[in-house]
Amino acid sequence: MARIFCIANQKGGVGKTTTSVNLAAGLAAQRQRVLLVDLDPQGNATMGSGIDKRALRHSIYHVLIGQAGAVQARVRSEAGGYDVLPANRELAGAEVELVDIDERETRLKTALAPLLGEYDFVLIDCPPSLSMLTLNGLCAAHGVVIPMQCEYFALEGLADLVNTIKRVAGNLNPDLTIIGLLRVMFDPRMTLQQQVSEQLVAKFGDKVFDTIIPRNVRLAEAPSYGLPGVAYDKASRGAQAYISFGSEMIERVRAL
- Footprint of ligand ATP on this chain (CB under 6 A)? 12-18, 40, 42, 44, 128, 184-185, 213, 215-216, 219-220, 238
The residues that bridge with 182 in the sheet, in sequence order, are 147
**93 φ/ψ angles, rounded to the nearest 5 degrees:** -65, -25
Least spacing, CB of residue 100 vs ligand ATP, in Å: 27
Cα separations (Å) of 214 from 50, 119, 188?
23, 29, 8
Using CA atoms, how far apart are residues 53 and 39, in angstroms rounded to an integer?
A: 13
Nearest to 84 by CA among 132, 23, 26, 21: 21
Please work out the total of residues on this chain that contact Mg ion, with binding judged by CB under 5 A.
3
Q: Which of residues 2, 5, 10, 17 is near Mg ion by CB under 5 A?
A: 17
Phi and psi based region of residue 185 (left: phi greater than 0; alpha: psi -120 to 50; beta: remaining): left
Question: Which residues in 34-73 contact Mg ion (CB under 5 A)?
Answer: 44
Specify the residue, 16 or 58, whose C-beta has the smaller distance to ligand ATP.
16
Specify the residue, 16 or 74, whose C-beta has the smaller distance to ligand ATP.
16
Non-local (6+) Cβ contacts of 184 within 8 A are 14, 15, 18, 19, 147, 148, 149, 213
Pick from ligand ATP, Mg ion, none: which does 86 bind, CB < 5 to 8 A by kind?
Answer: none
- Cα distance from N-terminal residue to C-terminal residue, the chain: 14
Least spacing, CB of residue 223 vs Mg ion, in Å: 10
Using CA atoms, how far apart are residues 97 and 63, in angstroms rounded to an integer?
A: 12
Least spacing, CB of residue 71 vs ligand ATP, in Å: 26
Least spacing, CB of residue 205 vs Mg ion, in Å: 27
Specify the residue, 92 or 169, whose C-beta has the smaller distance to Mg ion.
92
Specify the residue, 118 or 151, whose C-beta has the smaller distance to ligand ATP.
151
Least spacing, CB of residue 17 vs ligand ATP, in Å: 3
Using CA atoms, how far apart are residues 215 and 13, in angstroms rounded to an integer?
A: 13
Pick from Mg ion, ligand ATP, none: which does 211 bind, CB < 5 to 8 A by kind?
Answer: none
Residues that bind Mg ion (CB under 5 A): 16-17, 44
